[in-house]
Amino acid sequence: MSLAKRCLAELIGTFWLVFAGCGAAVVTAVYSTNDDYPFNLGLGFLGVAFAFGLTVLTMAYAIGHISGCHLNPAVTLGLVAGGRFKALDAIPYILAQVIGGIAAAFMLYLIASGKEGYVLNGFAANGYDAFSPGKYDMISSFIAEAVLTSFFLFIIMGATDRRAPAGFAPIAIGLGLTLIHMVGIPITNLSVNPARSTGPALIVGATALAQLWLFWVAPIVGGIVGGLTYRIVFEPEA
């Protein structure tokens, strides 16, 4: 498969992750505490966590055989560190992922803002200190993002190991991302994905953009650590 087609698959997949995952928070989860809404889905944090997990699960089966279904610059660089992906292809993949995430955020904003009385609020952006759902500080947020991304890469590396049971990797990875969101949403609204963070930050602007650096640096550090750890400790010798 050509690099252009693989990058297009990454763009589409990342669009779906941001559109559906953040959409669950922006459009649906707000009704979990609104008794006036006639079809109260009651999603809350748990529903949003499953939404993100399901986006990866579905796309892993849809495009995993085309691009590997990274959907995340931290995953791409973690797989480079883990020896599973070519370094030369990383930049085109990351560009495609970021474009997909930005396009999804703007599409979601066009839909959400069409509701009468719509208020932007946080628009599923990530943040720390006053912009953390649980008011966690920068250090706690950095550690959480790095550690959770590291384990996400560890899950990806292990689930896609040729020694692992075939065909089950998307399930493990999707459920792994769900569990990670259950832990991380109260801390930072959870990123573990720079492309997922960039789109909403551009919509919200101001503080969300000022804090965006953490949601690039911490996930990438964590992804590289996770990929390297699996490669060094558990990858079979050549």
Domain containing 150: what range?
3-233
CA angle 91, 95, 96 (to 5 degrees): 115
171-181 average pLDDT score: 97
76-106 confidence digits (pLDDT tens): 999 999 999 999 999 999 999 999 999 999 9
208-221 average pLDDT score: 98
Contact 235, 83 (CB under 8 A): yes
By the 10 Å C-beta count (0-12 exposed, 13-18 middle, 19+ buried), 193 is classed as buried
Tokens encoding 210: 């000022």
Instruction: Please report whether residue 160 resides in a domain.
Output: yes
- Which has the minimum average pLDDT: 6-15, 116-125, 185-194, 217-226? 116-125
**Higher pLDDT residue, 189 or 28?**
189
Give dist(CA 68, CA 64) in Å, integer: 4
Kindly tell me if the per-residue pLDDT of 34 is higher than 70. Answer: no
pLDDT of residue 45: 85
Query: What pTM value is reported for the model?
Result: 0.93
Q: What count of residues does the chain have?
A: 238
- Which has the minimum average pLDDT: 6-10, 17-21, 28-32? 28-32
Count of domains for the chain: 1
pLDDT of residue 115: 83
- Which residue bears the tokens 């252009």? 4
Instruction: Please report whether residue 180 resides in a domain.
Output: yes
Mean pLDDT over each residue of the chain, to the nearest integer: 93
Show the 3-state SS of 40-104. CCCCHHHHHHHHHHHHHHHHHHHHHHHHCCCCCHHHHHHHHHCCCCCHHHHHHHHHHHHHHHHHH
* Cβ partners under 8 Å of residue 132, min gap 6: 141, 187, 188, 189
198-224 average pLDDT score: 97
CATH of the domain at 182: 1.20.1080.10
Give dist(CA 100, CA 10) in Å, integer: 8
pLDDT of residue 166: 85
DSSP code at position 125: -
Taking Cα atoms as reference points, which of 119, 113, 98 lies closest to residue 202?
A: 98
7-11 average pLDDT score: 98
Give dist(CA 177, CA 184) in Å, integer: 10
Instruction: Please report whether residue 99 resides in a domain.
Output: yes
Instruction: Please report whether residue 238 resides in a domain.
Output: no
Side-chain-facing half-sphere of 230: CA atoms under 13 Å: 24
Instruction: Please report whether residue 216 resides in a domain.
Output: yes
Q: How confident is the model at residue 203 (pLDDT cuts 50, 70, 90)?
A: very high
Kindly tell me if the per-residue pLDDT of 188 is higher than 70. Answer: yes
